[in-house]
Structure 1
Amino acid sequence: MRYQLTSTTDGEEFTTDAGVQYVVYFSEAAAYFPGFAAAPHAFMLGFMRRDKASQLVDIPAHDPRIRETIVYVVAQFFEDERRVLAYVCQQGPQERARHRLFAAWFRQHSHGQFIRRVVGEEHGLAAALIYRQTNPFAQELQQLPSMEDKFRQ
């Protein structure tokens, strides 16, 4: 069961049972795909604590409702099959763990409907794309070079 969401100008906000406030948002990523027809439909996912007060709250080590809430927001995002979700993780230990977590979420929730490709590595960052198999730009997106071997789970 996911948390209740409130739509704001910043994104989709929710408050956990522990009182921690988060916002899930999307920002345009077209500049990262110059010359590609899919560029206007590319967005980056963001997720952060909403206010300073919630940063003082102890967060439970595992809150499955956070995952379910983010997965729900992403599912809503993909109602437009043209959309491409890009996410970037640094290559430090914490970011590598986040990259593995997102990969696990993808395997658990994609139901064979989506493609996930690690497409870039630069300045200590890894970039991955997620898009529907039915995306009209799928063939174009497949032509981007893949870095998947460097980031095996």
Structure 2
Amino acid sequence: MSLENPSALSSSNPSPYPLSETETGFAFTTERGAVYHLDFTSDSDYLPDTPFADSVYSFSILPVAGSGSFDRKDPRIEPTVIQALQVFFASFPKAVLLYVCSTENDQERVRSRLFGQWFSRHQKGFEKFDFHYPSQHLYMSAIVRRDFPESWRVELAILQAVEQHK
């Protein structure tokens, strides 16, 4: 993935933090010294019997422990995550990106709602499928570009995979 010429964000949003490339994606440091990793890992085993299996990736937002003070209200985190997603999809336009909300502190529903709000503000050109199973504490989304051929197959394949793992 290349950080050259990332897509511009709306001028109404705060500026994103500078991203640095890592082995698995990107990292950034907030003004308060918190370090986050935005990881994109191949997840072809999740939907192995699909024509797009080799294009499935998992996305993680990982605060690095012991790296300063985490500020959940930091307005620059949202545009930073969005910029990383834009760079990723520019490099992998046929990707199916899975995002499973962490169950840490029983906050998976809150994380899902927050990610949904971010997506709704920046969805141009993308489609998101949500999968919510509160009794299992599973809140998951799949994101594809709007021009992804037969995106409905992505939704169906994930529904089937989740049903098999219940």
TM-score by length of 1: 0.81
> What is the Cα deviation at residue 93 of structure 1?
4.7
Check conservation: 1:119, 1:144, Cα contact below 8 A. no
Letter in 1 for 2:119: F
Greater CA drift, 9-18 or 134-143: 134-143
Aligned with 1:48 (options 49, 55, 62): 62
Residue aligned with 1:82, SS: coil
Aligned with 2:101 (options 74, 77, 89): 89
The residue correspondences of 1:10-49 to structure 2 (distance < 5 A) are: 10-49=24-63
Q: Measured at CA, do residues 119 and 146 of structure 1 come closer, stay the same or move farther in structure 2, by a change above 3 Å?
A: farther
Give the Cα separation in 2 of the matches to 1:8 and 1:143.
32
Letter in 2 for 1:72: Q
Letter in 2 for 1:27: T
TM-score by length of 2: 0.75
Residue aligned with 1:143, SS: helix
Give the Cα separation in 2 of the matches to 1:53 and 1:124.
27
Aligned with 2:70 (options 59, 67, 87): 59
Which residue is equivalent to 1:98? 111
RMSD, aligned α-carbons: 2.4
Which residue is equivalent to 2:11? none
Deviations 1:82-109 (A, max 9, x none): 0111011267751100000111111100
More strand by share: 1
> What is the Cα deviation at residue 139 of structure 1?
4.3
Check conservation: 1:41, 1:84, Cα contact below 8 A. yes
Letter in 1 for 2:46: Y
Indicate the percent of aligned positions where both proteins have the same amino acid. Answer: 29
Which residue is equivalent to 1:68? 79
Unaligned runs of 5+ in 1: 148-153
Give the Cα separation in 1 of the matches to 2:37 and 2:158.
32
> What is the Cα deviation at residue 67 of structure 1?
1.0
Q: Measured at CA, do residues 39 and 20 of structure 1 come closer, stay the same or move farther in structure 2, by a change above 3 Å?
A: same
Give the Cα separation in 2 of the matches to 1:67 and 1:120.
22
